Amino acid sequence: MYKTKLDKEELKKYSIKYFKGEIIVVDEYEQVFSAVDYLSSQKILGFDTETRPSFKKGRKNKVALLQLATADKVFLFRINKIGLPNEIADLLSSKSIIKTGAAIHDDIKALRQLNDFIPASFIDLQNRVKKFGIESFSLTKMSAIVLGFRISKSQQLSNWETKKLSNAQKTYAATDAWVGHEIFLNLK
């Protein structure tokens, strides 16, 4: 049903798509309540985080951004500004909401350093796609194989702790979480 893998040349044949829905940046604690209220009513959320890259050996920065996506809305929580409030930690601990993304183990581990929540109902797409014979595990390749388009990784190494996120950063971050949501639904 799906291709098992793609090489770089094959991947280039797929058009690039971006998330086109509503992007909500949450950078003040007061905004957390309405965001969590909305997200708590969902059954499935795309999940991802972003961390400012460190170009010094042995230095690792803390998570700066948490992205949670539905089919038409993505919330970008500026963790570097608001921390990881209990309301968000409770959402990440909810057994009734599936949170899905690619290579999420380290993301969860990094978030737990900020607020020691008990993660529940997380599904790593890299494990999920194996059941369908897919052997390419990057989010870009999984997107092409399952959804028929690729995503851009051009903002991956940008400064996620910047005072104000650029439109390109917001679109990139939203797309990563949204694609996790869409791949999961498509495989389901």
Residue with tokens 């599904």: 123
Which domains are seen in the chain, by residue range? 8-187 (3.30.420.10)
User: Dihedral, CA atoms, 98, 104, 109, 112, nearest 10 degrees?
Assistant: -30
Residue by residue, pLDDT tens for the chain (188 residues) are: 888 888 888 888 999 999 999 999 999 999 999 999 999 999 999 999 998 876 667 667 789 999 999 999 999 999 999 999 999 999 999 999 999 999 999 999 999 999 999 999 999 999 999 999 999 888 889 999 999 998 887 666 678 999 999 999 999 999 999 999 999 999 97
Diameter of the chain measured on Cα atoms: 46
Q: Is 62 helix (H, G, I), strand (E, B) or coil?
A: coil
Task: Identify the CA nearest to 43 among candidates 115, 91, 107.
Answer: 91
Q: How far is CA 63 from CA 67, 113, 133, in A?
A: 11, 9, 32
Q: Is 93 helix (H, G, I), strand (E, B) or coil?
A: helix
CA separation for the pair 10, 178 (Å, rounded): 23
Question: Which H helix or E strand runs over 105?
Answer: helix 105-112
